[in-house]
Amino acid sequence: MEKITLPNGLTVSPVALGAMDFGTTTSKEAAFRVLDAYLDMGGNFVDTSNNYAHWNGTGDESETLLGEYFSQRKCRDRIVLATKVGFDRHGEGQGLKKEQIEYWIDESLRKLNTDYIDLYYAHTDDPTTPLEETMEAFHSLVQKGKVRCLGGSNYDTWRFCEANAVAKTPYTVMQQWFTYLHARADIAPQYTFNEATTRERLRYLESKQIPLVAYSCLAKGGYECPERLPKELIGGERLAFLKKMAADKGVNASALAVAWMVNLHRCEGFPRVIPLFGSSRAEHFTANLRGVELTLSDDELAQLNRA
């Protein structure tokens, strides 16, 4: 798997492995198999958070499991590691005040068994805290060597832009909900800021050379199991076209969706998109990862965009 070098200097695989369920609904043994398969295929970009997956546990499980993996496999230097701060976890942790950021980075470093984070995200916007306070706190972490680069997740585009306007160390990656299927406009997102990525947001990112890390990019398994397709997404003819082209290419629809996202930067008005997904089974994960190896012509990309 060829690596790409982002404008912020990080060199990452074109697909990121999401570790959200590791240690809760995905057992340690299964998670280790997925991680091993990902690294064996040349992957190096691993994504977690300080609150994963608190709805099935305490919120410490994912980071703690990854820390154990790095220790056992002696592979921390091979990983571009991303984690996050700012979302609620059983009534604590929500917000981006200076003291919260300073406390939770040390908790993440301890659990992850490392002394630095490659990419540290604000997990969601905090309108109650001045942007100057938040960005100064993040900048301090970079100055101390605890963090290499910063990212923003679940921000309105204008707030992301305003945060960077006051930042000494700006957000250089955005993480947001994005997939091949279009989102319905008549259903509000679960949280205030985790809205589907719009074309306007994509044009902004392309103009600023900021990559998009796309979460929920495989529609929670809905490309393979129609009953799992989120109600917020429109299936119809666009999904049918994706499945037909995937069958013609001998891959599943998820793999073709990955290929589309990996290649989307070739189209005018689109930034670099890095699909972020995980699995509890290594064979399912590697089947979807086949999308990285697919070659899409300009005409095929145009067909997928028009469908």
Beta strand segments in the chain, E = 4-5, 11-12, 16-18, 45-47, 80-85, 117-122, 147-153, 171-177, 212-215, 273-277
The architecture (CATH level 2) of 4-306 comes to: Alpha-Beta Barrel (3.20)
Candidate list 52, 69, 120, 155, residue with the active-site label: 52
Q: What is the DSSP letter of 196?
A: B
Euclidean distance between CA atoms 272 and 8, whole angstroms:
13
**262-284 pLDDT, tens per residue?**
999 999 999 999 999 999 999 99
Per-10-residue mean pLDDT of the chain, 307 residues long, equals 96 98 98 98 98 96 98 98 96 95 98 98 98 98 98 97 98 98 91 92 98 97 94 96 97 98 97 98 96 96 97
- pLDDT, residue 190, reads 83
Q: Where are the domains of the chain?
A: 4-306
- pLDDT, residue 157, reads 97
Euclidean distance between CA atoms 75 and 272, whole angstroms:
27
- Phi and psi at residue 233, to the nearest 5°: -110, 150
Residue 175 CB burial class (10 angstroms; 0-12, 13-18, ≥19): buried
- pLDDT, residue 254, reads 98
**200-235 pLDDT, tens per residue?**
999 999 999 999 999 999 999 999 999 999 999 999
Cα angle value 219/221/225 (rounded, 5°): 115
- pLDDT, residue 192, reads 85
Residue 90 CB burial class (10 angstroms; 0-12, 13-18, ≥19): exposed
- Beta-carbon-side half-sphere exposure of residue 246 (alpha carbons within 13 Å): 22
- pLDDT, residue 120, reads 99
Q: Residues 18, 66: contact at Cβ < 8 Å?
A: no
Concerning whether 155 is annotated as a catalytic residue, the answer is no
